[in-house]
Structure 1
Amino acid sequence: MARQAAGTRGLSSDGAQIAQWYQSLPTCTRFLLAATVTVTLLCGFQVVGPYRVALYWPLVIKQFQVWRLATTFMFTSTSLNGLIHVIMLYRHSLALETEEYVGRTADYAWFLLFCAVAMLSVSWVTATTVLSDGLLLALVTLWSLHRAEQIVSFFLGIRFPARYLPYALMGLDFVLGGGIPYGMFYGWGAAQAYYYLSVDLPAQGGLNYIPTPQLVYRLVGQARRADPRTVSSGFASSSNPIHQRPGGGHSWGQGRRLA
């Protein structure tokens, strides 16, 4: 009985540690991780069929199945590829939200919303049904743009500057998947557009044409505040720290095809 009680306490302690770790995550990363794991497991255990979470515009419009606009970004496979997808999603989102966007939850949420809307707009034309790889590539692209010269390790120990990481992932997916990774390309394009309009252009003395809307600040319960790393309107200095920051990084080891 004593051993059983000790084992129960051990399990409770482990559960408490996991809960504490989860609660310590920043808001957007916590939401992305929980949503992706939940939707993927529900589909993996066949509680919900993948067809119910994929993006089919006729069903969104005619039957008002609006949840598909969100779940298309949350579904991946339950294989090793899916596990790698979740790990990369977690690590890149955490790095962005705790470094470039530290104390700026609303701005990071706006980046995610901007990329989601951009990818949904393209999918309207191309009929792409799953955009989770696109969301991951958007995160990886923004992460790499802020750390362009940092050396990262990739498949089979190949090392190169971080700015090439999105292209390496798309190339690997193309080779292993046998087709053009359209969803990943959409995410790359959305992140490139966001970075140019909100970071590059203001750093060159121009305007930020996509400032975070006041509504987003209200939704996340954060007041708009001046920050030297972002410009909501007006002009920015060419010494913008976020544009020059090298940041930290990760060594990914052997690459795998993303699900």
Structure 2
Amino acid sequence: MNQFIGLLKVLKSPTIQSFCKIAYVPIRFITIAKKSIALPLYTCSSLHDVSFSTILLTVFLFVTELFPYSKISNIFLQMDLESFLLGIPVVTRYWFLASTIVPLLGRFGFIQMQWMYLEWDLVVSKFHIWRPLTSAIYYPITPQTGFHWLMMCYFLYNYSKALERETYRGRSADYLFMLIFNWFFCVGICMAMGIYFLLEPMVMSVLYVWCQVNKDTIVSFWFGMRFPARYLPWVLWGFNAVLRGGGTNELVGIIVGHAYFFVALKYPDEYGVDLISTPEFLHRLIPDEDGGIHGQDGDIRGPRQQPRGGHHWPGGAGARLGGN
């Protein structure tokens, strides 16, 4: 017993504790190096496949694992992720999470792209009935498409949140019906045109509706260009057609967004007749909040408040694209 007590005194001595603190770093370095490097390099078949972003992610994971109680870790621990997510309206919240998490899982090899994309033969002949849904939330992230995917996530977050919070305030069931309406027509058009992924047309359709509801709001683009929001979808279409080629995905989103805007908002506002209405089961799924009214009678007779804040693509004064 005396020997045990003596051992405890030795272990509690300042010298031993200082040694443990010094030895902690190299020991932890060895134990977590393999763990932190394995994830970002999972999909790299050779050293030639290692990109700068992969190296950066490796360093980030390594540092945060190596120093869990450092200031770096504390910064991320202090981020109130729960409050951020709860601040997003319910429909936009789940759509945003699905459209960010699922592509990232695919990027790191947890999901295979071959099971996610939309194709007529696979849906009809082989009865892959999940593909119309997975193709709406999946996007192949590569070094060439990564930045474009980030921009789609920004547009989704900002404009979907703005629509659900303003035009459909207290009526998230009606907003969910809008997304279902747009998704249904995106599936049909994309299958006919051979478009494999629906995320971009879906986001563009939501952006188009916001721009029509807020058509007189002045937005800013690159090089200080300023114009009414009604022109923004066409500017983005031309911008992507020049820089990336094509522009088909954006055009599909514009067509679908215009179809919904006319049928659900413009026609009822002008003629007082609802051509479509939200099914009752959606109202039971997401009950209206106080002040919400059933139906698709959003007021389109004047500009709404633009999304606030924003990133710098494009930048400038006015209603910055992608503002939150």
Q: TM-score range by the shorter chain?
A: 0.7 to 0.9
The share of aligned pairs that are identical, in percent, is 27
Q: 2:251 corresponds to which letter in structure 1? A: F
The amino acid that maps onto 1:126 is: M
> What's the secondary structure of 1:244's corresponding residue?
coil
Change (3 A) 1:102 1:222: closer
Could you tell me how far 1:40 is from its partner in structure 2? 1.1
* Aligned match of 2:53: none
Please, what TM-score do these two structures have when normalized by structure 1? Answer: 0.84
Residue ranges of structure 2 left out of the alignment (5+ in a row) = 1-20, 22-66, 316-324
What code does the residue aligned with 2:282 have? V
Tell me which residue corresponds to 1:35.
Answer: 98
Separation of aligned partners in 1, 2:267 and 2:301:
14
CA distance in 2, matches of 1:225, 1:66: 38
Does residue 274 of structure 2 align to residue 208 of structure 1? yes
Structure 1 residue 14 corresponds to structure 2 residue 81: no
Q: Does 1:94 align with 2:151?
A: no
Compare CA radii of gyration and give the structure with the larger one: 2
Q: Is 1:192 equivalent to 2:255 in the alignment?
A: no
Matched, 1:158 2:225: yes
Task: Tell me if structure 2 keeps the 8 A contact 1:144–1:162.
Answer: yes
Alpha-carbon distance in 1 for matches of 2:290, 2:68: 52
Please report the TM-score for the alignment, with normalisation by the length of structure 2.
Answer: 0.68
Q: 1:44 aligns with which of 107, 111, 116?
A: 107
Q: Which amino acid aligns with 2:74?
A: G
Quick check: 2:118–2:135 contact (8 Å CA) kept in 1?
yes
What is the RMSD of the two structures over their aligned residues, measured on CA atoms?
2.8
For the residue of structure 1 that corresponds to 2:300, the secondary structure is helix
How many positions carry a matched residue from both structures? 244
- Structure 1 residues without counterparts, runs of 5 or longer: 232-240
Rate the CA distance shift 1:13–1:226 in 2: closer, same or farther, 3 A. Answer: closer
Q: Per chain length, whose mean CA-contact separation is higher, i.e. which structure has more relative contact order (CA < 8 Å, sep 6+)?
A: 1
1:63 aligned partner: 126
Deviations 1:156-190 (A, max 9, x none): 321110000000111111101122x2222122111
Question: Could you say which residue in structure 2 is the equivalent of 1:247?
Answer: 304
Residue 64 of structure 1 deviates from its aligned partner by 2.8
What is the CA–CA distance in structure 2 between the aligned matches of 1:63 and 1:6, rounded to whole Å? 52
1:105 counterpart = 2:172 = yes
8 Å contact from structure 2 (residues 205, 253) kept in 1: yes
Tell whether the 8 Å contact from 2:278 to 2:296 is kept in structure 1 after alignment. Answer: no
Please name the residue that 2:86 is paired with: 23
Q: Deviations over 1:223-249 (max 9, x none)?
A: 999739844xxxxxxxxx711131122
CA distance in 2, matches of 1:228, 1:106: 9
Q: Which moved more, 1:206-215 or 1:58-67?
A: 58-67
